[in-house]
Amino acid sequence: MRNKLFTIYLLLFSLQLSASENKIVKLKCESGAYPGQVKRWSYNQKDLFEFYPNGYKRVYDIKTINKKYLLAEEDAVRGMYYVSINFDDNDINVNVETPLTKYIDYKCARLNL
């Protein structure tokens, strides 16, 4: 009986841990690359997704994530792409550096928590 309870507890704990790792956080920002357009970002513990207004999607590998910032990169054919998201209490912005340009998506808002 004791082993069964321990097994159930272990299973529930692992399911909860797995669910927290797969939680997707969504952001909606003013595009710095395309003024006047809205850009969306999503991330979990492993990947960062950039959704362009035209439907194109880019996936970055997250290198560091904590309560203050997120750092991610992608090794693409054209070169390295770097993204940093600063989680300030009053302002969230996304800094993007590509092989051709740099820009900041600003006025970001979390769509879910």
Domains and CATH numbers, the chain: 24-110 (2.40.128)
pLDDT in tens, 43-66: 999 999 999 888 899 999 999 999
Report, in this order, helix, strand and coil percent for the chain, each rounded to 5. 20, 50, 30
Sequence-distant (≥ 6) Cβ neighbours of residue 54 within 8 angstroms? none
pLDDT in tens, 83-97: 999 998 788 999 999
Q: Dump the DSSP string for 26-69.
A: EEEEE-SSSTT-EEEEEE-SSEEEEE-TTS-EEEEEEEEE-SSE
Whole-structure pTM value: 0.78
Phi then psi for residue 26, to 5 deg, are -115, 140
Rounded to a whole number of angstroms, the CA Rg of the chain reads 18
The number of angstroms, rounded, from the C-alpha of 44 to the middle of its chain's C-alpha atoms is 6
Q: What is the distance between the alpha carbons of residues 97 and 19, in angstroms, rounded to a whole number? A: 31
Q: Positive or negative, the Cα torsion across 3, 4, 5, 10?
A: positive
- What is the per-residue pLDDT for 40? 96
Confidence band (pLDDT; 50, 70, 90) for 34? confident
pLDDT in tens, 102-111: 999 999 999 9
